[in-house]
Structure 1
């Protein structure tokens, strides 16, 4: 006999995936899912459809959290990026393209432009294909209002998407070449893979070292990357190419295996457009034990000025 616990655990991946796309935060999404469980436990009746009921509950909680979070993000130090997600727990072969696209850092940043209601409606409709009656019940608006919200949200999202995004195979091939060139310190190879107006930007929240507002232009980014790779490796640092938010990326670790930062690569038009680094330690704890990034950069800088090791 199916219990509420069984029903909830079966739906947990979906609930987390909805909450994460609305909030852009792993920790806040996990909290929203946990609060949904508590409300489900306390609900006196028997929902006719647990999926619709719990999806509505987690959506409403996420909307409330997002409204509060937007105030905090306005006072955030520097650029705000979503917390990196290594694996989406929810899989649906029929929605795989929509799920992957909506998970990318670029898409989540576009979602930040929407109002909380627009964001929730877009996620439920365009990503998870909920019907409008279900969406209306979840956000407590009329079906007509939800249709209008969906149209506005879709228009804002379409305006910000790259015109010629790469397919998955092309992204993976380009990322492999990029990380090979980075590992080898090949400045010319890196420059050839970068868009002319490429940028290297980061989110430290004021709690980790950062390169000002960013580094811009293919030549500048290539030089910055090659100046980093060799000394970081020399002090025992490693980087692991890894899918992050459904896109090519990497996890950087110190010699003890602690997480220094994560990267995601935005790829379009056959070139790497943007490298986004998350360095804020508050956003990395779910990836693994977090390194002291200040100590790592100090040691890396010392290695950069030290004479090369004998071959």
Structure 2
């Protein structure tokens, strides 16, 4: 088997590690490409290619994350991970861990960790690497890596406040909510939302958003009843789609271009969060991206107090 073939066989794993560390499809793909360049330029041929390449992509991702954190401090508005439709890596023995770590809620919790904590958690708790391999990857002792992983696990556990619904229940509820939203059914939407539901929207200063996020069922319903029917009347369509392993949708314009991604959190029989990504830089991997400013003007669905009326200069 050639080196390139061996690398391609492990590419899904490498991307999945990098994405969970970085929360970005684009940056994860770049980290995998950098891993190939370093591997191709090296004369070293390790006993375990999987561990060797996983170590490289983790180190590259940590470096990128440290740089990205500076940019995220200056990010305009709410920051959300780039939506991922399909995880290329699967492992039946780690299926639950892989699925849970892919959710937007988990990725946001991971954002609270230091780069080393994040890497230790992802490698050990998600991908089941042993601490000897993690210690070599992070250039720390095994004891230190155990502490990093344990500290990260506590932070992750503390951040999870509700039990999620099973997949069928979540998909059914999300489908009913999307239907009610398209119909402008205010009471129907309100009945499916938790009282303290949230609707953060990530425009990155490059797309119109309704404030810095909407909090509370009543306010969410008001915004959605105002926004969705107007956009649909302008020719937009909601395409049901799994976003980061959970029910969601892609909002497209009349020409099929991507306007936004919508991810839903469901727990206790109600929707607890709707997370909307509008930043065009975070949607390019999904296909051609719509001009949200033009659509906003066509839809006429927001008042000047609630959304930026013109793109930033």
Give the TM-score taking structure 2 as reference length: 0.94
Give the equivalent residue in structure 2 for 1:205: 204
> What is the rounded CA distance, in whole Å, between the counterparts of 2:45 and 2:12 in structure 1?
21
Distance 1:54 1:181, change over 3 A: same
SS of residue matched to 1:236: coil
SS of residue matched to 1:248: strand
Give the equivalent residue in structure 2 for 1:291: 290
Per-residue displacement from partner, 1:96-140 (whole Å, max 9, x unpaired)? 111111111111010000000000000001111111111111111
Give the equivalent residue in structure 2 for 1:238: 237
Root-mean-square deviation over aligned CA pairs: 1.4
> What is the rounded CA distance, in whole Å, between the counterparts of 2:35 and 2:160 in structure 1?
32
**What stretches of structure 1 move > 4 A for 4+ residues in a row?**
none
> What is the rounded CA distance, in whole Å, between the counterparts of 2:247 and 2:179 in structure 1?
13
Distance 1:231 1:8, change over 3 A: same
1:7, distance to aligned residue in structure 2 (A): 0.6
- Equivalent residues of 2:259, 2:292 under 8 A apart: yes
More deviation, 94-103/211-220: 211-220
Give the equivalent residue in structure 2 for 1:219: 218
Give the equivalent residue in structure 2 for 1:34: 33
The count of residues paired between Structure 1 and Structure 2 equals 303
1:229, distance to aligned residue in structure 2 (A): 2.3
- Equivalent residues of 2:227, 2:301 under 8 A apart: no
- Equivalent residues of 2:226, 2:301 under 8 A apart: no
Q: 1:16 and 2:11 equivalent?
A: no
> What is the rounded CA distance, in whole Å, between the counterparts of 1:73 and 1:220 in structure 2?
27
> What is the rounded CA distance, in whole Å, between the counterparts of 2:72 and 2:227 in structure 1?
30
Give the equivalent residue in structure 1 for 2:6: 7
Instruction: State how 1:135-146 maps to structure 2 within 5 Å.
Output: 135-146=134-145
Per-residue displacement from partner, 1:170-220 (whole Å, max 9, x unpaired)? 211211221121122211111000000112220111111011122222122
More deviation, 233-242/177-186: 177-186
Give the equivalent residue in structure 1 for 2:160: 161
Q: 1:187 and 2:179 equivalent?
A: no
- Equivalent residues of 1:162, 1:268 under 8 A apart: no
Unaligned regions of 5+ residues in structure 1, if any? Answer: 305-311
1:303, distance to aligned residue in structure 2 (A): 11
> What is the rounded CA distance, in whole Å, between the counterparts of 1:300 and 1:119 in structure 2?
41
SS of residue matched to 1:213: coil
- Equivalent residues of 1:234, 1:303 under 8 A apart: no
> What is the rounded CA distance, in whole Å, between the counterparts of 1:100 and 1:54 in structure 2?
22
Per-residue displacement from partner, 1:233-286 (whole Å, max 9, x unpaired)? 111111101001111111011111111111111111221111111111111100
Distance 1:212 1:248, change over 3 A: same
More deviation, 178-187/81-90: 178-187
Unaligned regions of 5+ residues in structure 2, if any? Answer: 304-313
